[in-house]
Amino acid sequence: MVMTIRDVAKMAGVSNAAVSRYLNGGPVGEEKRERIRAAIEATGYQPSAKARSLRSGKSFLVGVVVPKINSESISRVTAGIGQVLREGGYQMILADTENDPEVELDYLTLFESYPVDGIILVGTVMTLRHRQFFANSDVPVVVVGQHVDEVSCVYHDDRGAAAELGRRLAARYPESTFAFVGVRTDDRAVGAARLQGFRAGLADEGLVLDDALVRNADFSCAGGAEATREILEEHPNVSVIACATDTIAAGAIEAIHEHFDLEPGEGAAPLVTGFGDNQLLQAVTGGIPTVHFAYRTSGNRGAQALLALIDDKDAVPMRIQLGYRLIGIN
């Protein structure tokens, strides 16, 4: 049997209008609110999404574009977004771009033409076309993970974290040779900022990161392993290999296992560091020096910013930088 607003109102002892106000977030007294809530729970009433959309002029859908779904950090961000959207009565449509900026733009354009109320982009490479889209989009857009000027964004202190990691490593291992495995530098956060910060941190302690010991990888274990093999073949005396992500670090550890009979960090084997505080990697390795970012919080804050813009499209854009915590090194 399909329940209606009339059924809920009868059970709660209130008017149909009171139930309608409750469902749309309007003013309802606390006592009536509790009775309506209990009646909805007892009847299993489900509001019509179509009717709700017609009444409010909203679809209550949000497009979320992510670079890849098989990433612990991205899954944390997505979980944070989903939590806030559900609490706000919204549903998420998720698109995975496999780290392809062109596919990203395709999804952004698709979502803009689809009946979504807003878009959250978990960003990597911000091209001119991205910025043009942000400036001209007909729906509110929030970027998570990158600092942008055109729209609201939530991002991490990538450079500051990498600099502090570099300083601590240089202070602890002052006679060491350092290598760095990063990603493409047109990714301003993970690529450029983490490399620049790490260089600066070493320099603060009087050490130099040799360009010959810098490699780029894709966001994968295989990429990290391949880059590390190159470093070990050309520079067998390297002492520390700092990686731009924990996934890349996992690949570096694999390559070191192939190259040395000893475990990483013991004897001649280089120490590997990462970014992301990946719980599986920490469990398998017993812990490597890494940087913890509040990824779930970034998703929360990004979704909150978007819902605020949906309610008030003239709201001033917000740019929120989140902090970090170093793990495994004092």
CB neighbours (10 Å) of residue 222?
14
CATH class (in words) of the domain with range 61-156+295-320? alpha beta
Determine the Cα–Cα distance for residues 218 and 1; give it in Å rounded to an integer. 54
Contact of 24 with 57, CB cutoff 8 Å: no
- pLDDT at 265 (0 to 100): 46
- Give the pLDDT confidence score for residue 267 in this predicted structure: 52
Grouping H, G, I as helix, E, B as strand and the rest as coil, residue 215 is strand
Give pLDDT, residue 248: 97
Both structure tokens of 59: 């679809």
Tokens representing residue 261 in the block: 């009979």
Helix, strand and coil percent figures for the chain, each rounded to 5: 50, 15, 35
Domain ranges of the chain: 5-47, 61-156+295-320, 158-293
Asked if the domains at 5-47 and 158-293 fall in one CATH topology, the answer is no
Instruction: Give per-residue burial for 5-30: e unless 16+ CB within 10 Å, then b.
Output: bebbbebbebeeebbbbbbeeeebee
Q: Does domain 5-47 have CATH number 1.10.260.40?
A: yes
pLDDT in tens, the chain (330 residues): 567 888 888 888 998 888 878 876 678 888 888 998 888 888 887 765 545 554 556 678 999 999 998 889 999 999 999 999 998 889 999 999 998 999 999 999 999 988 899 999 999 999 999 999 999 999 999 999 999 999 999 999 999 999 999 999 999 999 899 999 999 999 999 999 999 999 999 999 999 999 999 999 999 999 999 999 999 999 999 999 999 999 999 999 999 988 876 554 445 689 999 999 999 898 888 899 999 999 999 999 999 999 999 988 788 889 999 999 999 998
Q: What are the Cα distances from residue 55, in Å, to 17, 114, 166, 217?
A: 13, 19, 55, 50
* Cα–Cα distance, 119 to 147 (Å, whole number): 16
Domain covering 158-293 assigned CATH 3.40.50.720 in the classification: no
